[in-house]
Amino acid sequence: MAKRKFNKSWLDQHRNDPYVKLAQQRQYRSRGAFKLIEIDEQDRLVLPGMTVVDLGAAPGAWCQVLREKLVGPAGRLRGRIVALDVLPMEPVADVEFVQGDFREDEVLRRLSATLGGSPVDLVVSDMAPNLSGVGPADAARMSDLIELAVDFAVHHLKPEGALLVKCFHGTGYSQSVELFKRHFVKVVARKPKASRDKSAETYLLGRGLKSRQGVRDPYGSTT
């Protein structure tokens, strides 16, 4: 009975969610599209001509947003979008999709091969593990995904590139922040309005890779 009440409560909240209604109106595949839209409006992440990698892309709402921001007046994509997810994803026009588990080396090799050695301007990740309800185990899985995303970004981003990842406040959060600070010149946390208030979800944004010979800030200063 309690489970049934919980499900009904969630469904009622979902139906009445203004972002769900807005996503339906604008034909986005999920309300999550507005999280990326809001962060991009604040930080100007997506610019014409960029190569962007979307990790954990299914169902494809972030790809839709990325495409909107990269399509020129003539309807042609000015840039490149490569997406990856362990789940299948309905095609999004102009998006190259790789299906596989990001935690597997062979899948990472396929993703790298798809990029063909081209450097990346932006990596975005809305990935999250299937939550078990066991706090320490879920935190460890989330931290693992963040570490893999950072490692991928370090090896594929341009020096002035950026990485945006989902994370959760709680166990492991401070370690994820420190990981970002070791690799990026500028690190900020973002909590978009489209992220539900009760959710521990937040996003970490790192910009400008630190060089091995000190810190080179592509945004105008050296620290």
Residue 30 is predicted with a pLDDT of 95
Query: Of 166, 181, 186, 191, which is the active-site residue?
Result: 166
Where is 2: in which H helix or E strand?
helix 2-16
DSSP state of 126: -
- The residue-averaged pLDDT of 50-72 equals 97
Residue 15 is predicted with a pLDDT of 57
Residues 6+ apart with CB under 8 A from 7: none
- The residue-averaged pLDDT of 23-38 equals 95
- On the question of pLDDT at 12 being above 70, the answer is no
pTM of the model: 0.87
Please, are residues 50 and 70 in contact by the beta-carbon 8 Å criterion? yes
Q: Confidence band (pLDDT; 50, 70, 90) for 65? A: very high
Q: Tell me if residue 166 is catalytic.
A: yes
CA angle, 165 as apex, 184 and 121 as ends, to 5°? Answer: 60
Q: Confidence band (pLDDT; 50, 70, 90) for 135? A: low
Tens of pLDDT, residue by residue over 151-203, are: 999 999 999 999 999 999 888 899 999 999 999 999 999 999 998 877 889 99
Q: Of the given ranges (18-22, 88-92, 146-150, 218-222), which has the lowest mean pLDDT?
A: 218-222
Residues 6+ apart with CB under 8 A from 146: 165, 167, 176, 179, 204
Q: Of the given ranges (128-132, 144-148, 161-165, 181-185), which has the lowest mean pLDDT?
A: 128-132
